[in-house]
A and B are shown apart, each in its own frame.
Chain A
Amino acid sequence: MPTLAHYLYVSGALFSIGLLGVLLRRNILIIFMGLELMLNAANLSLVAFSRFHPGLDGLPGYNAQVLVFFIITVAAAEVAVGLAIIVALFRAKQTVHVEDLDTLKF
C-alpha cells in the first residue's frame, strides 16, 4: 500500500526529470515537454495531498483537485500559444534549437 511519501517521491522525480530536460535538451519542443512534465509532477503531488489529508468532514480537500483541473487547462493554453510561437520562430529562422537564439544579449 503506497503511502503519501511514495507519491511525493515520484512527483519529485517527475519534476526533476522535467527540469533536467529543460536544462539539457537543445530542442525547444523537447524543452517544452519538460516544462509540461514539471506541471504534471505538481498535479500528481496535489492529488496525493488531497487524498491523504482529508478535511474535517472526512472528504478529500477539493481545492487541490480543482487546482489540478485549472493547471491542466492552463497547460493546454500554454502549449497552444507556445507551439504557435515556436512554429512562427521556425518559419522565421528555420531552426528550433536554443543555441541559435542569441541575438539579444548583454
Chain B
Amino acid sequence: MNTLIAPWIILFTPLAAAAVILFVGRHSKPLSAGLAIGSAAVGCLLSWWLFLQPDPEEVLRFPWIAIGDSWLQMNLSIPIGVTVDHLSKLMLVVVTTIATLVFTYSIGYMKTEEGYWRYFAGLSLFLFSMLGIVLADNFVMMFIFWELVGLSSYILIGHYFRKDSAADACKQAFIVNRVGDFGFLLGILFLWAATGTLMFGDLTSGKGIALFAANPIYLTVACLLIFCGTVGKSAQMPLHVWLPNSMEGPTPVSSLLHAATMVAAGVYLLARIFPILEAAPHALDVIAWIGGITCFAAALMATQQNDIKRILAYSTISQLGYMVLGMASASSADVSMFHLFTHAFFKCLLFLCAGSVIVGMHHEQDIWKMGALKNKMPVTFLIMCIGGLALSGCPFFSGYYSKDLIIAWAVVKYPLLGWLSVATAGLTAFYTVRLLTVVFLGKPRGDQAKHAVESPLVMLVPLACLALPSFIAGYPFIEKLFFHVEEPTAVPHLLHPVLLFLFAVGVVSAFLLYRNAEKDPIFIPLFANRLYIDNLYDWLVKNIQGRGAAVLSWADRWIVDLFIVQIPSKIVWGSGFVLRFFQIGNIQAYAFFFGLGVIGLVHFLIFR
C-alpha cells in the first residue's frame, strides 16, 4: 500500500459497491448494506492511514480529454487526477468517518423501508462523488463530481418518490444546484480563458494569479461566478430554498448529505481556491456579505419552524453562512475548515438524534406533537443535548471554539457583519434550546409521544461514536493536530463576554418560554414563512417562467410558424388557385390572352 494508489482505492471502492448493489442488491438487504458499509469503512481506514502519512511528492494522473489547437495556441488537457494535501486529507477523514457511521446507522433506520438497495446504492454513489470533489486536482474534475453529488442527492431526496412533496423536493434541489453550477461553469471558463489552465496547482501557485494583475475586475467576476457554485451547493442566500425541502429524504441522508458533508463542499471549494480569492478583495466582500446575511436570516427562520428536521436544516444553513463568512474574513482557510470539521460532527449527530426521535415517534416530525421524550428515550436525549450545546456554542463544547474563532475574525474585518453574527450566536442558542425543550421536556402532546420507544442499538452506537468528537473536537490539542489557525489581533475585549451573555440569554429565555408550552407562545409570520422567499420563488416560477414559456410556445405556434410556414404556403397555394381561373375554357378568351401575350412579347423584344 502506497500513497500513490491509496487515494484511488478510496475513490473507486464506493463506485464499485454502488454498481454491484445496483445489479444484485435488490435480492438481499444485508448484501446491499454490507457492501455499502464495507466500502465506506475501507475508505475510512485508508483515509486515516493516508492522513498520518506525509504529503506525497507525486500523484497518479490519467488524461480524460486532451486536445491541442494550433490556431489558438491553446491546449485543453483535462486529466483525472488526485490532490493529496493537508486540506484534502482532512476532508477525506471527515467524510469517510461520518459516512461509515451514518451508513451503519441507516441499517436500523431503514429496516422497515422499501427500496433498501436503491438507498444504499445511492449512498455509495454519493460517497464516490463526494470523495471525487475532495480529491479533484482540477476544476473540471471537481465540476464533474459536483454534478454527480447533485445526482446522488436527487436520488436520495427522492427516495420516497411516491410522496409528491419528496418528488418536488428532489427536482427543486437538482435544478437549484444547476443554477448555481451555471455560474460555477462560467467561472471555470473565465479562469481558463485567461490562464489556459484548469489545475488548482497552477492557478493557486501565484502563477495563475499573476496573469490577472492586468485585469482585477475580470478576476473578481470570475471568483464570484465560481462562488455561485458554493451558493448553490452550500445553500447560501438566495439559493438556500432547496435545503429545507431536501429534508423530505430519509433522515440519515439529511444528516450525511445535507448537514455534514455535501453542503460543506461549497466551503471546501472556497478553501481550495483561497489563494485566488485573496487576490480578489472585492469578491471577498460580496462573499462575506452573502455569508453574513445568510447566517443571520437562516437563524431567524429557524426560530419559528415546527418540523424537527427543518429547524436543523435552517441551522445548517446558518452555520454554513458562518463558514462562508469565515472564508471571507479570516487569514487562512483553516478557520472555516475548523468550523466545518466540528460542525460536521455535531450537526450530523443532531440529525441522527432527530432520526432516532422520529423513529421513536413512528415518523412524526412535528415537535408540537412530541414532548417529555427524555423519559422514553433517555440516551437519545443525552446525546442530543451534547450536540445541541455544541451547536449553540456552549463553552467547552466543540462548536464554541470554532464558531467564536470565525466571529472574532469577522468582527475584526467586517465589524457590522461581525456583530450580526454575534447576534446570530444568541439566536442559535435560542432555537436549539427551544427544540430540545419542546421535544424532550414538558409533557407528551400526543399518543405517539406517550408510546415512543428508544431506538435500537445499531442506531445508538453511531450516536455515541459521534457524541465524543462533537464534544472534544474543538479542543486545542485536536485543533493543533488538524489545523494551524491563528487568533486575529485586536479583537474587541468585550466580544467574548457578549457572546457568553447572549448564549445565556438565549438558553434561559428559550427554556422559560417553552418549558411547558402547549403551543408556540410567540408567532412571527415573517419568520415562520421563511421571509416569504419560497413564496417569491414559487410565484416567479409559476407566473414569470411558466407564463412566459406558455406565451413563447403560443408565439411559436401562431407567429413563427404562421410567418415562416403557413402564410407563405397559403399564399402560394392561393395564387395557384387564382391563376387557374385564367383557364376559363372559352376559345376566344384564350385567343385574346394569346394576343395580349404576343403584344407583350413583341413590345418587350423591341422597345426594351
The residues of B that contact A101 with a CB separation of less than 8 Å are 585-587
Cβ-defined contact, B581 with A106, below 8 A: yes
Whole-angstrom distance between the alpha carbons of A103 and B583 in the complex?
11
Cβ-defined contact, B584 with A23, below 8 A: no
Whole-angstrom distance between the alpha carbons of A26 and B586 in the complex?
11
Cβ-defined contact, B587 with A105, below 8 A: no
Listed by A's residue number, 16 A-B pairs whose Cβ atoms lie within 8 Å are A19-B595, A22-B591, A23-B588, A31-B588, A98-B586, A98-B587, A98-B588, A99-B586, A102-B584, A102-B586, A105-B583, A105-B584, A105-B585, A106-B581, A106-B584, A106-B585
The residues of B that contact A98 with a CB separation of less than 8 Å are 586-588
Q: Is A56 an interface residue (CB 8 A)?
A: no
Fill in one digit per residue for A72-106: 1 if any B CB lies within 8 Å of its CB, else 0: 00000000000000000000000000110111111
Whole-angstrom distance between the alpha carbons of A1 and B588 in the complex?
40
Residue numbers of B with Cβ under 8 A of A are: 580-581, 583-588, 591-592, 595
Name the CB-closest residue of B to A25: B588
A23/B591 contact (C-beta < 8 A), A98-B586, A99-B586, A101-B586 known: yes
The residues of A that contact B581 with a CB separation of less than 8 Å are 106
Whole-angstrom distance between the alpha carbons of A60 and B249 in the complex?
112
Cβ-defined contact, A106 with B586, below 8 A: no
Whole-angstrom distance between the alpha carbons of A26 and B186 in the complex?
83
The answer, among A24, A26, A102, for a CB contact under 8 Å with B585, is: A102
Cβ-defined contact, A106 with B591, below 8 A: no
Give chain B nearest CB distance to A80 CB in angstroms: 20
Name the CB-closest residue of B to A26: B588
Whole-angstrom distance between the alpha carbons of A102 and B585 in the complex?
5
Cβ-defined contact, B585 with A23, below 8 A: no
The residues of B that contact A105 with a CB separation of less than 8 Å are 583-585
Cβ-defined contact, A106 with B583, below 8 A: yes
Interface secondary structure of B, over-half rule: helix
The answer, among A23, A26, A106, for a CB contact under 8 Å with B592, is: A23
The answer, among B580, B587, B588, B595, for a CB contact under 8 Å with A106, is: B580
Name the CB-closest residue of B to A103: B585
Whole-angstrom distance between the alpha carbons of A23 and B589 in the complex?
8
Whole-angstrom distance between the alpha carbons of A98 and B588 in the complex?
7
Give chain B nearest CB distance to A104 CB in angstroms: 6
The residues of B that contact A24 with a CB separation of less than 8 Å are 588
Give A1-48 interface residues, CB cut-off 8 Å to B: 19, 22-24, 26, 31
Whole-angstrom distance between the alpha carbons of A12 and B583 in the complex?
30
A23/B587 contact (C-beta < 8 A), A106-B580, A106-B581 known: no
Name the CB-closest residue of A to B580: A106
The answer, among B580, B583, B595, for a CB contact under 8 Å with A23, is: B595
Give 9 nearest A-B pairs by CB, closest first: A105-B585, A102-B585, A98-B587, A106-B580, A106-B583, A22-B591, A102-B586, A98-B588, A105-B584
The residues of B that contact A26 with a CB separation of less than 8 Å are 588
Whole-angstrom distance between the alpha carbons of A31 and B585 in the complex?
17
Whole-angstrom distance between the alpha carbons of A98 and B592 in the complex?
13
Give chain A nearest CB distance to B191 CB in angstroms: 71
The residues of A that contact B584 with a CB separation of less than 8 Å are 102, 105-106
The residues of A that contact B583 with a CB separation of less than 8 Å are 105-106
**Residue among B584, B588, B595 with the highest chain A CB neighbour number at 10 A:** B588
Give me 4 other A-B pairs in contact (C-beta within 8 A), A23-B588, A105-B584 excluded: A22-B588, A101-B586, A102-B585, A106-B584
The residues of B that contact A99 with a CB separation of less than 8 Å are 586
The residues of A that contact B586 with a CB separation of less than 8 Å are 98-99, 101-102
Whole-angstrom distance between the alpha carbons of A24 and B587 in the complex?
11
Give chain B nearest CB distance to A89 CB in angstroms: 12
Give chain B nearest CB distance to A81 CB in angstroms: 17
Whole-angstrom distance between the alpha carbons of A103 and B580 in the complex?
15
The residues of B that contact A102 with a CB separation of less than 8 Å are 584-586
The residues of B that contact A19 with a CB separation of less than 8 Å are 595
The residues of A that contact B592 with a CB separation of less than 8 Å are 23
Give chain B nearest CB distance to A57 CB in angstroms: 33
Whole-angstrom distance between the alpha carbons of A22 and B595 in the complex?
10
Name the CB-closest residue of A to B585: A105
Whole-angstrom distance between the alpha carbons of A40 and B293 in the complex?
106
Give chain A nearest CB distance to B574 CB in angstroms: 15
Whole-angstrom distance between the alpha carbons of A23 and B584 in the complex?
15
The residues of A that contact B585 with a CB separation of less than 8 Å are 101-106
The residues of B that contact A23 with a CB separation of less than 8 Å are 588, 591-592, 595
Whole-angstrom distance between the alpha carbons of A26 and B589 in the complex?
11
The residues of B that contact A31 with a CB separation of less than 8 Å are 587-588
Whole-angstrom distance between the alpha carbons of A99 and B584 in the complex?
11
Name the CB-closest residue of B to A99: B586
The residues of B that contact A103 with a CB separation of less than 8 Å are 585
Name the CB-closest residue of B to A98: B587
**Residue among B581, B591, B595 with the highest chain A CB neighbour number at 10 A:** B591
